[in-house]
């Protein structure tokens, strides 16, 4: 982890509040980077994820997933207020106990701190989805993300989410590597090794098949498929990074 839990709690609260404050009159605005989604879809999806997390916190840390689906949020302007309620309930729950308290997750038994981290980065990416929709509709450009939190988001995305959510990689990627280098935060370097077992990531500065260089925010958004690859400095065989991003649809 490259950011403290206090930083991640602040990120979760800040970015969640930004989603809750999106303009109600633009809920039908399309999200440029997520075809078929609108601003309302982002709000309702993220709120439902918060409720889904609460259900897991209520479950046996070593048990199976809850059988009931998390309830949906209402359509229309009411979704913003209900989103805020869902956010508040989840943040209050996550910060009310020792972060080492065991918790059920999609990668097995972890703890409350694991969920603080996962939700901070989930909300950050979806806040950019929402802000991009507003910006495309004539509103202001998205506010920047906290660099240290964004760097931690890269670490969590590549080490945890990529490792568990990316489908089997095509044979053409086996044996290739990607070096990711953040330019605005200390020690923000990773090596992604691609093989038949998927993506394995470690903190390292090494020569790779391709290197990606940029700010932590831009790297996080590119690796989350929210910004184009050509927005980064690319050294080496850029087709390897492009192919991984094409495969990493989850």
Boundaries of domain holding 31: 5-143
Tell me what pLDDT residue 85 has.
98
**Residues 35 and 156 both lie in one domain:** no
Largest CA distance in the chain: 51
**Residues 68 and 110 both lie in one domain:** yes
pLDDT, tens digit only, all 250 positions of the chain:
679 999 999 999 999 999 999 999 999 999 999 999 999 999 999 999 999 999 999 999 998 777 667 889 999 999 999 999 999 999 999 999 999 999 999 999 999 999 999 999 999 999 999 999 999 999 999 999 999 999 999 999 999 999 999 999 999 999 999 999 999 999 999 999 999 999 999 999 999 999 999 999 999 999 999 999 999 999 999 999 999 999 998 7
**Residues 226 and 131 both lie in one domain:** no
**Residues 122 and 195 both lie in one domain:** no
**Residues 78 and 113 both lie in one domain:** yes
Tell me what pLDDT residue 250 has.
75
| Contact between residue 240 and residue 173 where contact means Cβ atoms under 8 Å apart | yes
- Cα 176 to Cα 43, 168, 180, 213: the distances in Å are 37, 14, 13, 17
Tell me what pLDDT residue 65 has.
75
* CA proximity to 1, closest of 114, 161, 81: 114
**How much is the pTM?**
0.96
Q: What is the Cα–Cα distance from 130 to 13, expressed in whole angstroms?
A: 16
Tell me what pLDDT residue 69 has.
79
**Residues 120 and 191 both lie in one domain:** no
- Count the alpha carbons within 13 Å of 138 in the hemisphere toward its beta carbon: 2
Strands 176-182 and 210-214, sheet pairing? parallel
Tell me what pLDDT residue 2 has.
76
* CA proximity to 227, closest of 238, 235, 215, 219: 219
What's the number of domains the chain is made of?
2
Residues with Cβ < 8 Å from 60, sequence gap 6 or more?
A: 104
**Residues 89 and 158 both lie in one domain:** no
Tell me what pLDDT residue 67 has.
64
CATH number at 122 reads 1.20.120.450
């Amino acid at each position: 982890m490259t950011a403290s839990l206090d930083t991640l709690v602040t990120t979760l609260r800040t970015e969640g509040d930004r989603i809750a404050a999106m303009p109600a009159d633009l809920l039908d605005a399309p999200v440029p980077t997520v075809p078929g989604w609108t601003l309302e879809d982002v709000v309702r999806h993220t709120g439902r994820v918060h409720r889904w997390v609460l259900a897991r916190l209520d479950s046996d840390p070593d048990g199976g997933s809850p059988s009931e689906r998390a309830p949906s949020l209402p359509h229309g302007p009411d979704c913003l207020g209900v989103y805020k309620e869902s956010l508040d309930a989840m943040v209050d729950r996550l910060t009310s106990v020792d972060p080492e308290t065991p918790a059920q997750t999609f990668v097995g038994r972890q703890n409350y701190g694991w969920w603080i981290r996962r939700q901070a980065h989930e909300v950050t990416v979806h806040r950019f989805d929402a802000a991009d929709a507003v910006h495309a509709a004539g509103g202001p450009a998205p506010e920047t993300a906290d660099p240290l939190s964004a760097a931690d988001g890269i670490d969590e995305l590549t080490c945890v989410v990529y490792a568990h959510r990316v489908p089997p990689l095509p044979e053409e990627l086996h044996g290739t590597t990607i070096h990711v280098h953040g330019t605005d935060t200390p020690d923000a370097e990773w090596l992604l090794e691609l093989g038949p077992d998927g993506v394995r990531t470690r903190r390292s500065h090494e020569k790779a098949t391709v290197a990606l260089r940029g700010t932590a925010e831009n790297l996080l958004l590119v690796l989350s498929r929210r910004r184009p690859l050509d927005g980064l400095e690319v050294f080496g065989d850029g087709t390897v990074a492009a192919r991984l991003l094409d495969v990493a649809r989850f």
